[in-house]
Amino acid sequence: MISEREIMMPVLKGEIGQSNFLAGVDRPDYDEMTRCTHCGMCLQFCPTYRVLGLEADSPRGRIYQMRAVAEGRALVDEDFAEHMYVCLACRACETACPAHLHYGSLVEAARGQIEARRSQPWGERLLRFLIFAQLFPYPARIRLLAGLMRLYQISGLRAFARFLPGRLARLEPMMPTLKGDFFPARDQVYPARGVKQYRVALFNGCIMPVAFGPSNAATVKVLTENGCEVVVPSAQTCCGAIDLHAGERDLGREVARRNIQAFERLNVDAVIINAAGCGVALKEYGDLLHEDPAFVARAQAFAAKVKDVNEFLANIGFRAPTAALPMRVTYQDPCHLVHGQNIRLQPRQLLQSIPGLELVEMAGADRCCGSAGIYNITQTDLSMEILDEKMEHVRRTGATAIVSANPGCMLQMQIGCRRAGIDAQVYHVVDLLAKAYNLEQSN
């Protein structure tokens, strides 16, 4: 039986490949690697180094291994794969790095090297094919799977989850509670409230519509309240982040091309995203397709329009709500928002604009929560150790709500509250802003 861990970080049998260079295979940029001075500034910002204390599992240690492969001093073998996939790709090291290295692109390319060289067992090949090629690129299939999960949850069968075999029994409680989805009709357009000032498109995503459908609806609400006409194109698909994190570079390029084609015909001022991990992937389409002459310019033009919803609202001068929300909240910085997109102050500005809301900063708010896509499934023990540290910081704030801006972080915070026995609700920033707008209109 194939374990969940093997989906993303295979336990490799023998060498992956004797050759370090294969035609057409992505490789970490050598010039970028050589800019690392091994100063060590990244070490205490790296979650895996803080927990494991191993140089090989630090950013500079991984860069050293990548460079050794590039210079022919090491092979792309199972040891190399182990260290590349234990990384959360949280990019905290990029914030810490005085040389401003783009570590995220390096580790994603290294994983591409691994997947291009290794020989996969047939069961694992089939599983990866079903997940990455046949599920995530197709919103209708995700919606169908979510419907089956929802049926399972309301049927009462979860009471018997403890009887599931082995690891599945441990992972089942991590399943999000699905309450509704957000799949608008074909190319749905939501008119601006009042005078239209902008025409924007919403990137719906693949996880947000099924796990946090109300947050996508809240995003539309907040945008229309701020003079935006919002269009949600039905031809869009997964952003490709999950493919790129898993070394499936060609699949990532395929969905990137599909999204560019879906959005470029809309004539919008901005493409709005409310999931931080997706935002990084979308903003890096130009780099991903830099060797595709038919798409490189189109990818760069698309990426230039991508704006996180917090970033966009802060830039246009959003309307502060007038209704009060008497809440004590703390904010968890999504790694791909604060480190991947350098968006730190804007979510806090939105929250602080809500009357009655008290924002209490937690220690280490910009440290990874351990979610990292499906890292909490593939590396559960390490993920939970990182999460437990985070939840202790949450507890000390005395907050009754945790706010973030990424579905993975929100799901991880829900798991953390259950593990730590903390009675706190988890929200997206736009959830609270939309709630305040609704309250003022109902008064």
Predicted pLDDT of residue 288: 94
Long-range contacts of the stretch 413-417 (C-beta < 8 A, 24+)? 413/332, 413/369, 414/176, 415/173, 415/174, 415/376, 415/387, 416/369, 416/387, 416/388, 416/390, 416/391, 417/391
Specify if 224 maps to a domain: yes
pLDDT > 90 fraction of the chain, expressed in percent and rounded: 71
Alpha helices in 71-138 (DSSP H): 78-86, 92-96, 103-117, 122-128
Residue 42 one-letter amino acid: C
Q: Do 326 and 359 meet the contact criterion of CB atoms below 8 Å apart?
A: no
Lowest-pLDDT range, 146-150, 177-181, 227-231? 177-181
What range defines the domain where residue 339 resides? 321-442
- 185 pLDDT tier (thresholds 50, 70, 90): low
Task: Answer whether residue 180 shows pLDDT above 80.
Answer: no
193/284 same-domain check = yes
Q: Which residue has the higher pLDDT, 185 or 59?
A: 59
Instruction: Name the 3-class secondary structure at 259.
Output: helix
300 with 325, same domain: the answer is: no
Q: Residue 57: what pLDDT? A: 95
Q: Which amino acid does the sequence have at 247?
A: G
Among 93, 117, 141, give the residue marking a domain's end: 117
Q: Is 204 buried (19+), middle (13-18) or exposed (0-12) by CB count in 10 A?
A: buried
- Give the confidence band of 10 by pLDDT, cuts at 50, 70, 90: very low
**Whole-angstrom distance, CA of residue 163 vs CA of residue 429:** 37
Same-domain status, 288 and 342 = no
Calculate mean pLDDT across residues 245-258: 93
- Gap between the Cα atoms of 70 and 77, Å rounded: 13
pLDDT above 70 (res 407): yes
Residues 331 and 254 grouped into a single domain: no
pLDDT-derived band at 11, boundaries 50, 70, 90: very low
Give 320 or 122, the one with higher predicted confidence: 320
* 336, 255: one domain: no
Distance CA 256, CA 252 (A): 6
Other beta carbons within 10 Å of 144: 12
Residues 310 and 231 occupy one common structural domain = yes
Same domain, 310 and 330: no
Mean pLDDT of the chain: 89
Mean pLDDT throughout 65-93? 93
Q: Is 354 helix (H, G, I), strand (E, B) or coil?
A: coil
Residue 125 belongs to some domain of the structure: no
Distances (CA, A) of 97 to 28, 100, 110: 17, 5, 19
User: The domain spanning residue 244 has which CATH number?
Assistant: 1.20.1050
The two structure tokens encoding residue 412: 């991880």
The verdict on 345 and 373 lying in the same domain is yes
Domain assignment of residue 349, yes or no: yes
Query: The domain spanning residue 22 has which CATH number?
Result: 1.10.1060.10
- Cα 80 to Cα 17: distance, rounded to the nearest angstrom: 12
| Domain boundary, last residue among 73, 97, 117 | 117
pLDDT in tens, 252-306: 999 999 999 999 999 999 999 999 999 999 999 999 999 999 999 999 999 999 9
pLDDT (mean) for 210-233: 95
Residue 152 confidence (pLDDT) above 90: no
Structure tokens at 115: 């997947």
Assigned domain for 176 exists: no
Residue 127 lies in a domain: no
Helix (H) or strand (E) holding 439, with range, is helix 429-442
Q: Do 250 and 269 share a domain, yes or no?
A: yes
CA dihedral (293, 201, 334, 424) in degrees, to 10, reads -160
Q: Are residues 304 and 328 in the same domain?
A: no
Structural contact between residues 260 and 295, judged by C-beta atoms closer than 8 angstroms: yes
- Whole-structure pTM value: 0.89
pLDDT exceeds 60 at position 162 = yes
- Among 167-176, 180-189, 391-400, name the most confident range: 391-400
Q: How many domains does the chain have?
A: 3
CA gap 102, 142 in Å, rounded = 32
CA angle, residues 410, 411, 415, in degrees to nearest 5: 115
The CATH number of the domain where 358 resides is what? 3.40.50.10700
Edge-to-edge strand ranges of the sheet holding 401-404: 357-359, 327-331, 401-404, 425-428
β-strands 270-273, 198-202 pairing = parallel
Do both 403 and 426 map to the same domain? yes
Domain boundary among 59, 93, 117: 117
Whether 18 and 83 share a structural domain: yes
User: 441 or 7: whose pLDDT is higher?
Assistant: 441
Tell me: the pLDDT tens digits for 89-134?
999 999 999 999 999 999 999 999 998 887 778 888 888 888 888 9
Asked if the model's pLDDT at residue 318 lies above 50, the reply is: yes
CB neighbour class for 194 (10 Å; exposed up to 12, middle 13-18, buried from 19): exposed
